[in-house]
Every structure is written in C-alpha cells, then in structure tokens.
C-alpha cells in the first residue's frame, strides 16, 4: 500500500474502495485486504480520508482480471514498486495498442506478460 501521486492518479480512469470490491465479490472486506497483502491487487491511499483504493480496471465480472496477478508478480520480480507498476499498467502503449491494464481486460494477457518479462532484460 502506497500513497498516490498526482501523475498516477491522473493515469487511472476510475478507482474502487475495498468495501466496493468486497461487495462486488460477495466477500468480507477482510478478504479483499488479504488479496492486497498477498500482492494480487495494488491498493493506494487517496482522497480526503486517505482510504485505500484499487484501480477499477483490476476488477471484472466479480473477480480480479485474468492475468493481473501473474503480471504483478513479474513486475515485482523485475524490481518495480507499486507506483511504478501502476504507471506501467496505465500508460498508453501505441504498439499494444492501449494500456497494459486495458489489454488484460480484453484478454490479451499473453502479450502484456511478454512485455513485462522483457522489462527484466
């Protein structure tokens, strides 16, 4: 969990609070906190009350977007911090096209993971 900076806040189109995600998943908020702790989701503090928020693009059809967990693992293994992962996932790449987060939502995770692996080289 990290504080959000203005650049990244501007890149992410929409955010969900942990209680919002818990409701969508049909679980207790403690389970969502566990997903964050395990590194399956990235949560940042933002807003007036500094509540934890997760990019809305990480959630689809009542679960974590397919391929996100593996991508986050690859990026962490490459030495990326949470804010760097968010910046990479939400920065437009014309060769992709779109953002890596968008590609994951569109089931183009193989290409996103390939690019994440290439960052280590």
Identify the segments of the chain with pLDDT beneath 70.
Answer: 1-4, 121
- CA 42 → CA 1, 69, 95, distances in Å? 7, 10, 25
36 touches 58 (CB < 8 A): no
User: What is the pLDDT at residue 119?
Assistant: 85
Domain ranges, ordered by start, for the chain: 6-120
Q: Is the peptide bond prior to 119 cis by the omega test (within 30 degrees of 0)?
A: no
User: What is the pLDDT at residue 70?
Assistant: 96
Give the chain's count of helices (H) and strands (E).
7, 6
User: What is the pLDDT at residue 19?
Assistant: 97
User: What is the pLDDT at residue 32?
Assistant: 98
Interacting residues of 45 by C-beta distance below 8 A, sequence separation 6+: 1, 2, 3, 4, 51, 52, 53
User: What is the pLDDT at residue 1?
Assistant: 46
Q: DSSP string spanning 44-99?
A: EEETTTTEEEEEGGGEETTEEPTTHHHHHHHHHHTT--HHHHHHHHTS--TTSSS-
């Amino acid at each position: 969990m990290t504080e959000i900076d203005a650049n990244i806040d501007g890149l992410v189109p929409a955010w969900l609070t942990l209680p919002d995600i818990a409701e969508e998943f049909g679980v207790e908020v403690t389970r969502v906190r566990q997903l964050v702790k395990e590194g399956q989701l990235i949560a940042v503090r933002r807003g007036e009350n500094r509540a934890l928020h997760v990019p809305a693009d990480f959630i689809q059809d009542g679960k974590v977007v397919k391929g996100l967990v593996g991508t986050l693992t690859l990026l962490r293994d490459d030495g990326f911090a949470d804010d760097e992962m968010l910046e990479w996932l939400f920065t437009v790449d014309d060769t992709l096209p779109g953002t890596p987060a968008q590609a994951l939502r569109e089931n183009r995770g193989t290409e996103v993971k390939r690019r994440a692996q290439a960052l280590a080289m």
